[in-house]
A = this chain, B = another copy of it.
Amino acid sequence: MSSDFHIKPEIRILGIDDSALLNEKIMIVGTVFRGGDWIDGILRSDITRDGLDATEVIGTMIKNSRHYSQLRIVMLDGITYGGFNVVDIEELYRKTGLPVIVIMRSYPDLEKIRSALRRFSDGELRWDMIKKAGKIEKLVTKKNRTPIYIQKVGIGAKSAEKIVCLTSIRSNIPEPLRVAHLIATGIIFGESRGKA
């Protein structure tokens, strides 16, 4: 499950972010990047707010894309989308064959998440999905002093770090996620905003 591999500067990466919790259906946006430079395509789907369809919807979006055969990595902005719609990253990896790197700006407050999950009848199931996403590792790159935190499946630590470094050229967040965030907020609010 953990492997290091050669990384081309133009490696195709899909970064996925979600939009604000304004409706029952939450838009998710995928950006297909070559390395950190060049946008090759944009994907869009909808998931259910606080539902459990994120893994299925993201997997299908990827497999239906004309970029699928070229993609080598999926990057997620945390593992909960559209509220508490948890992505099962192992399942996503199995379904698509693509390694997944999860990026977090700060170490998640797991106790707070666990507590919030108590209001869900299937809260334990969601908590299990969060736990099995594996170890959360701190990553400080030479270029960026601000640390980020990552989880991964299907890819070794060295390769994951290389890909994060290669693509974090404008901030400490990889470009595929930074731009997915700009698009998701810009389309919904009329102008992009926030942490990107």
Contacts and interface: CB of A to CB of B under 8 A. Distances in A.
Instruction: Give the interface size bracket for A toward B.
Output: 20 to 34
A192 B41 contact: yes
A164 interface: no
A51 to B, nearest CB: 18
Interface string A146-173: 0000000000000000000000001000
A187 interface: yes
A66 B191 CA distance: 8
Interface in A24-43: 27, 29, 37-39, 41-43
Interface stretch (A102-110, A119-127, A136-144, A178-186): A178-186
Contacts of A170: 38
A125 B115 CA distance: 62
Main secondary structure of the interface of A (DSSP, over half): mixed
A179 B39 contact: yes
Contacts of A37: 37
Contacts of A64: 191
Contact of A43 (B29, B39, B191): B191
Contacts of A190: 43-45, 61
Contacts of A192: 41-43
A18 to B, nearest CB: 13
A189 B42 CA distance: 10
Interface of A: 27, 29, 37-39, 41-45, 61, 64-66, 170, 179, 182-183, 185-192
